[in-house]
Structure 1
């Protein structure tokens, strides 16, 4: 369930069919309600009764949304207050940056940009509370702030392992367990390596990361496409999106294919052709 569904359900329970949302844009999942739900959770906003004039900008789940204007009187608006919805704590994606010092400056920037894209992917489905960083150094946050000036966020910054729910796994391209829909759907905490190793200097980087950070005993799961990792996206944001799509009902193969970049598709095509 996406958090927009929680918001729609709650508004209907309150009998609200018109809502003033000011200058809200469809930033996440091309949805006003998803964007509004994320905004309300991050900024501690709620719904308050207040008469205000506005122009209709859209409608979702049977609720009319209004922005600035003078066409129609609306009786509810967004304001500071107690939470209106309580999102699920899982799935929880934890990105471990314990190999940060082994990366080049270029790789650190690339990793940070992938994390920013991952945050956007999370917000298309859930919100910041479903994403955490582990062992992230000060430089990571400095780069994050540099690339995303003024962005409000609430993802969790952890110095020690935190597992939520049941069946935690590590997504590792060198893992000894092959991912399937059941494994991904049943896993509440999913750990990924926050590392870009373009020079392949670190042998089996995610395995090494698991040892250093002390969770090597957790299931090491690799995502494959018809038995091979070739053509499976390896960027953090793409991997997280694959898992979320599977949790939403996609088959694993469909989730992988729909998340492939052009480069991923070409690598897979070449692999299929040379394999005969």
Structure 2
């Protein structure tokens, strides 16, 4: 999907510009200099102009640093001094129809004050994420009230803040179908869903507590209002456990898939935090545990090398691995030591479960977490 940087790049090429600089060090540390420059131009904070002398800093249209350029971004206070090459209007007339990303606050009052603050923070972060790809103005918040406006510490004038129902907002926008990100959905989000004109990405965390399974109700309300709803979930290797539940991180996963073309597992990994990874690790490790009975006492053992295996798709550190071992009362041993234990033990079924039984005077080989 085309980004604002792509629009900016096309506008520059049309005017014969193959490299663009800046008169200050402002963009020197930008990770995506063309996107950052395009945002400034789009919001009327400056323009690209022709300058008489080459700039010190410049980038080609792929974002690589190059020698100076006779074309440079300058702030709006300096634009009149030079010949304007690309300004806000040049971008506005080229903008594609990007989808809307909606935070539905219908269940706002079911949250505590602390939770409300987190939702507002996540909404600000969503705006920042959208600025990394589009303009940020693609974000809409529905059922917004005065309390949300007071608590939202971001540029309210650059997003859509809608007081009424999501269904009314969609009708006003001419949108008859949405994708609802729902962890309880049957179908998984895929490339086929990226043709939707709107995505409802959150508004409530419903994976536990008194708000559990509230997201499907948002879909039911929209369907009653005549809006078609595609319920989709995001999974990590087929399971929702380990997928971030914060609105901004869900949006980040969608954008990485939609714009960068990344697979779902890779996108989830990049947006994951160790907290989310530990959720999944708690579910995965017991599946790999071997039960040993040593002198009548039961030990559950996993291979120490599992850390390397899981860290390829879970964002875990060694300390996270050890923490989960302790929580689950598991022991980690090197694979070679487990092979040795298997050689000197006998397989038994006890109360319907598989065990390896050892009769030893000393069980020191089962060193805890060693």
Count of aligned pairs: 265
Residue matched to 1:95: 103
Residue matched to 1:263: 275
Give the Cα separation in 2 of the matches to 1:18 and 1:197: 48
- Relative to structure 1, the CA distance from residue 27 to residue 164 in structure 2 (aligned partners, 3 Å threshold; closer, same or farther) is farther
Post-superposition CA distance 1:169-192 (Å, at most 9, x none): 10011123222x333433332112
- Relative to structure 1, the CA distance from residue 249 to residue 236 in structure 2 (aligned partners, 3 Å threshold; closer, same or farther) is same
- Relative to structure 1, the CA distance from residue 229 to residue 62 in structure 2 (aligned partners, 3 Å threshold; closer, same or farther) is closer
1:24 deviates by: 7.2
Map 1:110-149 → 2, pairs under 5 A: 110-144=118-152, 147-148=153-154
- Relative to structure 1, the CA distance from residue 171 to residue 127 in structure 2 (aligned partners, 3 Å threshold; closer, same or farther) is same
Q: 2:257 aligns with which of 242, 246, 251?
A: 246
Residue matched to 2:238: 227
The answer as to 2:158 corresponding to 1:154 is: yes
Give the Cα separation in 2 of the matches to 1:103 and 1:251: 33
1:202 deviates by: 1.6
Residue matched to 1:84: 91
Post-superposition CA distance 1:31-61 (Å, at most 9, x none): 22101212222337554x5646674233131
Give the Cα separation in 1 of the matches to 2:148 and 2:85: 33
Map 1:155-170 → 2, pairs under 5 A: 155-158=159-162, 159=164, 160-162=168-170, 168-170=178-180
2:40 is paired with a residue whose SS is: helix
Q: 1:175 aligns with which of 185, 200, 205?
A: 185
Residue matched to 1:190: 199
Residue matched to 1:11: 12
Q: Are the aligned partners of 2:44 and 2:88 in contact in 1 as well (CA < 8 Å)?
A: no
2:265 is paired with a residue whose SS is: helix
2:169 is paired with a residue whose SS is: coil
The answer as to 2:280 corresponding to 1:272 is: no
1:95 is paired with a residue whose SS is: strand
Give the Cα separation in 1 of the matches to 2:29 and 2:129: 8
Greater mean deviation of Cα atoms: 248-257 or 75-84: 75-84
Greater relative contact order (Cα < 8 A, sep 6+): 1
1:199 deviates by: 6.8
Map 1:98-109 → 2, pairs under 5 A: 98-109=106-117
Q: Are the aligned partners of 1:20 and 1:52 in contact in 2 as well (CA < 8 Å)?
A: no
| Superposition CA RMSD, Å | 3.3
TM-score normalised by structure 1 residue count: 0.80
1:130 deviates by: 2.0
Post-superposition CA distance 1:130-160 (Å, at most 9, x none): 221111112212212xx34xx5852222333
TM-score normalised by structure 2 residue count: 0.62
Give the Cα separation in 2 of the matches to 1:195 and 1:263: 19
After superposing on structure 2, the runs of 4+ consecutive aligned residues of structure 1 that deviate more than 6 Å are none
For structure 2, the 5+ residue unaligned runs are 64-68, 75-80, 289-370
